[in-house]
Amino acid sequence: MTAAKPISPQPEDLVSTAEAAEILDKSEVTLVGWRSRGVGPRYYQEFGKRSRVYYSRADLIAWRTRNLVIPSVEKNAKEAARGRR
């Protein structure tokens, strides 16, 4: 059995770093820093004379959702784990 190949997003689903920064409410510099450190949402890079980076709109939304923290829920979970509840 072979592993399924990842499905590449369609061109209309791809956004530039500037657009990705707007979607995530971050600066372009932050996204560049994340890429250099290997963190943040996944991205696609075209190599050539002018290297370009694109993000999938769906990946950005999924990444933002995964990183959502609801403080009261987090606090209650930590307290429960410590046996305070």
Q: How far apart are the first and last CA of the chain?
A: 48
Percent of the chain with pLDDT over 70: 79
- The secondary structure element, H or E, covering residue 15 is strand 14-15
pLDDT digits (tens, 9 = 90+) for 32-82: 999 999 999 999 988 877 788 999 999 999 999 888 877 776 667 777 777
Residues 40/31, Cβ–Cβ less than 8 Å = yes
Q: What is this structure's pTM?
A: 0.66
Domains and CATH numbers, the chain: 12-81 (1.10.10)
* CA 60/CA 44 separation, integer angstroms: 12
- The secondary structure element, H or E, covering residue 81 is helix 71-81
